[in-house]
Structure 1
């Protein structure tokens, strides 16, 4: 069973448009409404794989009620923490050439009582969990050390923690030794304070995060695949993608695939790559089901292409 924690969930509306022309009336060719937030997406991918998952998240107002209904419809157990503010609504505009424009609302501010209720709900739901995945940005009211506190409490209870966040929240949590952190290339560059131009640069940055406390680093490099760096060494995984339809939630699908496969070693990396490659070929933030995966197309190697330039260098 995998518990996910999403401190700043959302109701996500995705519109597929031919092109984005400022100042013009744009007619969408398709639209979707999905429950959003990085941890929510992890739960959706875990549920799509037929595994049990519990989504812990603060919910408020009509958008929050709709998020809960949509999650229940996908077979996800919801552990809501009622809050006074309304859950945020986000908009994504997906153009036919694969370019995605996102508008993310800030979300409600959580009171001290609501923050403690969130931590207590995580504690209650994590009994017997294989993993706790803590994902996404922190809402207003939560200090950058909130994730660090959660990791410390979870470890004290004997749980394993996967952390997918960035900036000060990531740096503060590293000292508590999360079992795996999952940055993308931009977040990895931000964490070490320098640009990344090659796959080798990303490996070195991942090793630095391990030096700061992370036990393993699962890094998404976009078109250049994924890296896993842990005590046993470094692996690189990749898979061909026919066409990118939407990359919303692809990293979250990757993390779900990694945890579903045990959360350690090259086999888990292969599962992460398969899930991420499938997700980018689906509309909106649709999470892949087993029928969408192509494990045979995945390549995982310990011979990491250190000199390969990143398709999109991270500043």
Structure 2
């Protein structure tokens, strides 16, 4: 998914400490156009930009496509990150310049590695009447951020217990390990909890965690998080206690050790300095012609005929460089 804001914030991301569970609420962001599909963005925020290597969390739907117009995100570029697509309802067609053409479906993760540069598009299919899911980004560590672009798909088998069902799409949880490769330790899982369920998870004490609540109310180590909240849990806990009340709940559990690097994130680029980001923007604009895309750093998505999305103007001030 692209960040289609006309004036995207520049974010210099650093890991920050916390003493207890913190509840973060989203801001509403349109994905462009007069009938724009809207998303709820809980990461980055001005006071917290990273949870492990997770640097971007968008949550959308359930939206009736007849009303919202669905998702129609034309070719756009990325650098220095991996995108993680997870759907609850609907279907999205993915095309990228590494030659991948795939469908994003509920309960199946699609992970795209941008690395040194990739372009892709995402369009909800004609068969989709309701669209509901999350789009997540992972920052690549400095040692791997110029890796070749790529794509991985995985359909995790549910792990079940009394009152709960879990799908582990990245990392390890409840004895299940995802085969999807990442460049830093990560956890990503969908949890379905029935009413009145208490579930204590064994987690890595070196990780910080985020609990994104899609539906219901979830107690997270004694602090309640409601629909669309992102509950931040600092490192130091070897267990994570979740509970529901009189309604079922669905949530995404994200985690990883503090990233330990500062990054500059602007529009769809993750880099390390103003000049690097400005260079990526210039290269993308140089690939856009009156007839579409030409070859360059970001390539051309396979089989896509939508006109590419131009980069917005850079802010008047220099983007902050890595400290």
TM-score (norm 2): 0.29
Higher relative contact order (CA 8 A, sep 6+): 2
More helix by share: 1
More strand by share: 2
